[in-house]
Structures are given as structure tokens and as C-alpha cells.
Amino acid sequence: MSSHICGVVPPYLLQGIAEGRDGVDDDGREAALRSLKHRHEYTSRRCDRLAALSQPRARQQHAALHQQQSIVPEILLQHIAEAEGVDEETRQRARRDCEQIKLVTTAYKQSLSGEGGVEQQSLAPKLETDGFYRAVYDAKHAQNENKLPGTVVRVEGQKVANDEAVNQAYDNVGKVLDFYEKFFKWKSIDNKNMHVLSSVHFGKGYENAFWDPDRMQMVFGDGHTFLYHFTNCIDVIGHELTHAVTEHTSPLEYEGQAGALNEHISDVFGIMVKQLVEDETADKADWLIGEGCLLPDVKGVALRSMKEPGTAYDDPRFGKDPQPASMAGYKPVTEDNGGVHMFSGIPNRAFYLASAAFGGYSWEKAGQIWWKTMNSGSVPPRCTFIQFADATTDIAHELYGDEGAKIVRDAWNEVGVVRQR
């Protein structure tokens, strides 16, 4: 099984830096190699996780386990209840939830041991909170996930910290989760107000940001020679948190076209939240993912372009954006889990075309179609592009009639994802 880490920076870009021509110094190459090494060591577990979720029994077990993992840890609630600068309303809610967790945890342990009967077993998985809790930690440049999350710096309800990266992560995570709740009625990552932890300052010169599915938290590097400012790019945070949301809607295996669709969904929701923050309609937006991640001397504008895949960067030191804009450029590859980052540009452009044709804001119609599709039960774990095109077209017809279905089908046809008759 190939490996995967939910990192917004594609591996071929990091590989380009690591193998860079003149202009990439040894320090820059070593930083890129460290990032790639970490990706290789960690990501096979992520692939195995998504493959396991494709099995019905495994999904049930995952749901039961995640129910317990989603419970806000007592230590976090204690931080919130005791930290200076936390508003009193949040402090009281943390104390209340802390007491509830003790009751729920006790009941859960009793249900596992066979004590307490049916009533307590039914109580065990239930815990609802009024809203999600955020906490941001300083990883202090630790390069091992075993040392995460690090030292707590800012928790829910607390005033700004002295660390800019901490405040950016805190604020932008909140904006992404507010976006999901406001426009899609989805509460936090799991629709149950799951807490969201983030660690900043991970690694030494770590040029990426990712969602760690084992620890269920965001992790941000500081960047190095070519890439930086991950905490300040809301589309990056939207992209990574959406990987976690996808596990709770339609888990897509991280290989080939299904893996490219997994990356595509994260780009779709990342770009929509960016457009919301910047108040841009589909026709006015730039459709650039990771626009703020490239250091000023890099010859490029972003990590990816959804409007014009393959045009995001072209730097003589590490190469050109390899994304094709249509199936004319699609070919089977073995690297990057079958090209999951490379070929996500094809469905990305289809979403852009559909959004532009509908007009208005991208989340008003196209986004609603994509969201309902992911919650429809019609997206298999090994979904192909044409299967996803059919599913989105069906949902478009359901929501917006013949005209909506034609807009979506035309978008897929334009990028070469065409139903064969």
C-alpha cells in the first residue's frame, strides 16, 4: 500500500526542491528531504485507515471508537477553566462539560465491563456540547508526533497570545468550522462538535501542514526556503480539516482517481471558505490554493490553480506545476499514490466551471451539490471520476432541475470526464 499524509503541499513539489538545480542551497534541500522523510514514515497508516473505512464493519468500529475520541479531553477543559483571559461563559461551560465527561466515561467503562445494564450501555457514547473547543499548542520544533501536541498556548475563550502563528491557527480553524455550520449545517469535523487541537512550530524547517488522523489534530510547520505561512492561509486549513470531514461523509481510498477525488474535495471546501473570507463570487475569485504559501522570490502564484491547473508555479530551481487540466493529460502513474495530487486538478477545474456557470458564490449551488453528493451514500470508496461526475449530476438535477444537471454535466464533459455511450 502506498503512503499518504494529508499535507497540502504535494510531494512532487517537495521532491523538486530536494532535487533542485542551482539556486537551492544544501540547507533548503535538507529541509525538503526531512519533510519527505516524515511523509514517507507516517503516511502508510493513513492509507490503511482509509482502506479500512471502506469496509462496513470497520466503519462501525471507527464510529464507535471515534465517539470516545471525540469527547473533549479533561485536560483541555481544565486548561480552559483555569487559564487566564478566558471569558466567564466559556469557563463555566468547560466546567460543566468536564463533569459530564466524568459521568459519560464512567458509564462507558461500565458498559465495556458488562456492569450497569442496558441503560448505562446506551448512555456510554452520548456527549453533546454547545459548541466546539479549540486549543493551540507549541510543538517547539519537535519532529516526532509522539511529542505532540506540545505546550498549550491558547484555548477556547482566551485572549490573543504573543505568538502570531498561534493566533492565526486559532482564528482560521474557527472560521472554517463556522463556515461548515453556517452553510452546510455541519458541526465541527464529525457533526458532533468535536474539539479541534492544533500544533504550530512542528519540525525544523518543515514545509507543510497536515491533519494527523491518529491524533486527530492539525499540525503546522514554519516553512523554510520556498514555502511558509501555513497558519495564515485559510484555504490550507480548510483543505486539511476537510480531509477529516471526508472520513465522516464518504471516505475515499487514497489511491488513483479515488485519492485524487479525496484531494479534490479538500480543495473545493478550502477554496470556498477562502472565497467567503474574501467575499468573492465565482467569477471574481482567483481560484488559487495556497496563494500565500510561496515565499516572495518563488516564480509562481500558489500551490495549485483550480481554474487553470498546471499554471500555479514555474520555478527554475524546482520545476513546473505538473497538473493537467483535462483527461487528455491523464495517464497511470505509480508515484504520489497514483497521482492523487497531480490529477486532482481535473475535477478541480470541473468544479470551477460549474461554479462559474451557476454564478454567484461558489457555495450557494455548486458547493451544495458537492456537499450533498458526499453525504448521499452514492460515492464508493474506490470512486472513479465518471462515477463522481454521474453522482454530482444526479444531485444537481434533484436540487436544480434539468438546467442544473446540464451545467454540471457540461463542466465534467469539458475536462474530458465523459460518459461513454
- Active-site residue numbers? 240, 341
- What one-letter code names the amino acid at 24? V
Residue 320 dihedral angles phi and psi, to the nearest 5° = -110, 150
3-state helix, strand, coil in the chain (%, to 5): 50, 10, 40
H-run or E-run covering 209: strand 209-212
Contact 105, 180 (CB under 8 A): no
Residue 59 dihedral angles phi and psi, to the nearest 5° = -65, -40
Output DSSP code: residue 160.
Answer: P
Contact 392, 369 (CB under 8 A): yes
Nearest to 6 by CA among 166, 242, 249: 242
Joined together, the cell numbers standing for residue 178 give 463556522
Contact 263, 344 (CB under 8 A): yes
Contact 342, 12 (CB under 8 A): yes
Nearest to 176 by CA among 160, 194, 162: 194
How far apart, in whole angstroms, are the C-alpha atoms of residue 7 and residue 31?
15
Q: State how beta strands 134-138 and 196-202 pair.
A: parallel
If you count them, how many residues does the chain have? 421
Q: Distance from CA of residue 267 to its chain's centroid?
A: 8
Contact 46, 213 (CB under 8 A): yes
Q: State how beta strands 288-289 and 304-305 pair.
A: antiparallel
Contact 395, 373 (CB under 8 A): yes
How far apart, in whole angstroms, are the C-alpha atoms of residue 384 and residue 388?
6
Task: Report the chain's terminal Cα–Cα distance, integer Å.
Answer: 34
